[in-house]
Amino acid sequence: MLKLPIYLDNNATTPMDPRVLEAMTPYFLQHFGNAASRNHPFGWEAEEAVDYAREQVAKLIGADPKEIIFTSGATEGDNLGIKGVYEMYASKGNHIITATTEHKAVLDTCKHIEKSGGEVTYLQVQPDGLIDLKELEAAIKPTTILIAIMYANNEIGVVMPIKEISAIARKHGVLLFTDGTQAVGKIPVDVNKDGIDLMAFTAHKMYGPKGVGALYVRRKNPRVKVTAQMDGGGHERGMRSGTLNVPGIVGFGKACEICMLDMEEDSKRISKMRDHLQTELLKLEEAYVNGSSEYRLPHVANISFKHVEGEGLLMGFNKNIALSSGSACTSASLEPSYVLKALGLGDDLAHSSLRFGLSRFTTDEEIEYTIKAISETVLKLREMSPLWEMYKEGIDLSTIEWAAH
Amino acid sequence: MAYSEKVIDHYQNPKNVGTLDKGAKNVGTGLVGAPGVWRRNAPSN
């Protein structure tokens, strides 16, 4: 039975897996101890639970448990990873390389660093959303200490060539930080095979709870250190003070364990649904996929429907289908998505985009309903769209100069 | 942020929408707004 509303905004957050909630429950009421309490059973239980979760999290990304620093989420991980390296390696240099399509948590962190005297290079992306490796290598200078490139993009789902980026970083003795938020738990991520030195990720994008995440910090070849960004009790090997969110961490661990077991099967099933959705929607005239279709997460599709406006499109069905136009972080403003603009899309295409993010709970029925609802809305809006009428009359809209008034 | 009832009503029941015959003598055509109000005005008299 089809249940409305349908949730297809899984890049914003995923629903929690009931198995995760089940694992967390005892740690609210029975085992409520502080993991840092060393001298009684309440503390021991909590510490044991955290240690176990740390192993589960580490295993998913091929890391050593000691390399996992628990945080409040990926934004904190991005801040701690980038600012922490910038401060720790100040004697080596002050130059960071990143890309224009990064998440705001990375871009604004870099802007903060620029204000405090650092230098940042923002690489442009190619029309498919991937960075040019030659440009990356050319941007490296003697003062470069860090490359910060995301694993997979939150708006268009493209997966960056992390292994190749890492090879360049290693060759020049530069550290590699990656924001793994959208990738971890969805596609195989292995910090050793991929050559990652630091990686931020979060539980709530992989069926875990909100408010908990991790920063992976490499301990061997090379040994990486970050300067703590919060002062306090020196938790997490001195890198992140603050009482550990024990129930959250337990849930995060469980979510990682489930992803590890189910990833392969889930992604096969989900990508089949995503491909079907995309094929059917591209049957509409003037519909385009944004970003690379080849190097892309299995559950994401970002599609533009020319000559209709994204918000207007959403209004047609957002009572029944939860979707984003642009990303959730920027859709409160009417500015078109900076990620889509970075791909070289004009305002018209950037404004008319929808982001589909499927999950392990998405069903075939939901996809069929979505295809029908979106197709109908696009056709209905185009029927009364003056832009569509002009397009049909053969007027090239890009030749019109729109004056402000 | 939910939309107001008025906005939703205008969305579901669009008002004053349609196309006039651009070949007609009393229909003028112009571009207004940014971007996209493509208007054909027919004088009422």
Which residues of B are less than 8 Å from A331 in CB distance? none
Pairwise CB contact (< 8 Å): A387 & B38: yes
Q: Residue A289: phi, psi to the nearest 5?
A: -85, 135
| Residue A328, pLDDT above cutoff 50 | no
CA-based nearest residue to B31, from A397, A307, A378: A397
CA-based nearest residue to A298, from A152, A126, A100, A150: A152
Q: pLDDT tens for residues A89-109?
A: 999 999 999 999 999 999 999
3-state DSSP assignment of residue B9: helix
| CA A130 vs CA A12, A159, A160, A200, A327: distances in Å | 21, 8, 6, 20, 18
How close, in Å, is residue B4 to chain A by CA atoms? 12
B45 vs A133 pLDDT, higher one: A133
| Residue B12, pLDDT above cutoff 90 | no
Mutate to test the interface with A, among B31, B32, B40 (most CBs of A within 10 A): B31
Pick from B14, B35, B38: which is nearest to A389 by CB? B38
Which residues of B are less than 8 Å from A347 in CB distance? 35
Instruction: Provide the CA A401 distance to its chain's centre, in angstroms.
Output: 36
| CA A294 vs CA A99, A280, B24: distances in Å | 20, 18, 51
| Residue A24, pLDDT above cutoff 80 | yes
pLDDT band at A122 (very low <50, low <70, confident <90, very high): very high
* Biggest alpha carbon–alpha carbon distance for chain A: 79
| Residue A151, pLDDT above cutoff 70 | yes
Distance CA(A99)–CA(A298), nearest Å, equals 22
How close, in Å, is residue B10 to chain A by CA atoms? 11
Pairwise CB contact (< 8 Å): A386 & B36: yes
Distance CA(A101)–CA(A326), nearest Å, equals 12
Mean pLDDT check: name the lowest of A198-202, A252-256, A314-318.
A314-318
Distance CA(A205)–CA(A152), nearest Å, equals 13
Mean pLDDT check: name the lowest of A219-228, A281-290, A301-310.
A301-310
| CA A324 vs CA A201, A273, A297, A359: distances in Å | 21, 18, 17, 15
Cite the active site residues of A. Answer: 329
Pairwise CB contact (< 8 Å): A386 & B39: yes
Pick from A332, A348, A390: which is nearest to B38 by CB? A390
Whole-structure pTM value: 0.92
